[in-house]
Amino acid sequence: MARALLRGIWTYRGFILGSVRRDFEARYRNTMLGAAWAVLSPLAMILVYTLVFSQVMHSRLPGSTSTYAYSIYLCAGVLTWGLFAEITTRGQVMFLENSNLLKKISFPRISLPIIVVANALVNFAVVFALFTVFLVLSGQFVGLPFVALLPVLALQVLFSIGLALVLGVLNVFFRDVGQFFTVAVQFWFWLTPVVYPASIVPASMQPWLAWNPLTPIIQSYQRVLVEGLWPQWERLAWPLAAALLLCVLGWRLFRKRANEMVDEL
């Protein structure tokens, strides 16, 4: 089954790559600067965060004396949360938005989650590359621990696509799922130490942070980029277990309901 699936994905690689390219081009179609906005928009965000929090508000991260510590902490959290939000938000509607394709064209349905992840990673790569350039130019680049971001990124993508696949299938049959997640993700953002350090959270709220799979993932990015330390790998065991569970659940739902989804759409 796995071999047949991989063969189908490879056969339709042109369809997948073409879809990713069209989506990227569609974002900036009919704009004067075109794809330049892919660089200008995140660059503006990074500059605003840096100037406002380090130079204007003089914000400091607890336990750090670096001028840029909180700005880097904030960028690390917001950028990586944005990747999770994009994959899950687009994933929950991927079957609904492509209902015409599903009804008219025969292709591996698993291509749609792959396209969602590929699009999100392209956007993330552009933004994070600019952020990395900023770290280098400002003298804040952490060196070798930076490579630890790759397995953390892989874990985050695995967790995100597993959740997106579950939501995407359920949303075809129960449209309230998408509406509920849109509300839930706003609370989820503030229950994750994206813009604040976990140390300032009241003791009564600490268990909520501990059970949040995104907490150790986001904190791993921040630990590497702000402190220049390697992630605490043992803390990523729970997110890994949650990611694998979601992927298995999503895959089983997808396989069981794939034909029914076409009729429901």
Average pLDDT for the chain: 84
Q: 176 exposed, middle or buried (CB, 10 Å; 0-12, 13-18, 19+)? A: exposed
Residue 138, pLDDT > 70, answer yes
User: Which of 25, 10, 164 lies closest to 97, judged by CA?
Assistant: 164
Q: What is the pLDDT of residues 147-191, one digit of tens each?
A: 999 999 999 999 999 999 999 999 988 888 888 999 999 999 988
Query: For 186-201, what is the mean pLDDT?
Result: 87
Weakest-pLDDT range from 25-39, 209-223, 233-247: 25-39
Threshold 0.85, pTM exceeds: yes
Candidate from 82-91, 237-246, 252-261 with smallest mean pLDDT: 252-261
- Rounded to whole angstroms, the Cα distance separating 114 from 9 reads 9
Q: Residue 14: what residue type?
A: G
**Cβ–Cβ under 8 Å, residues 176 and 257:** no
Average pLDDT (233-259) is 91
pLDDT of residue 144: 94
| Residues 6+ positions from 110 with CB-CB distance below 8 Å | 5, 8, 9, 254
CB 54 within 8 A of CB 73: no
According to DSSP, residue 210 is labeled H
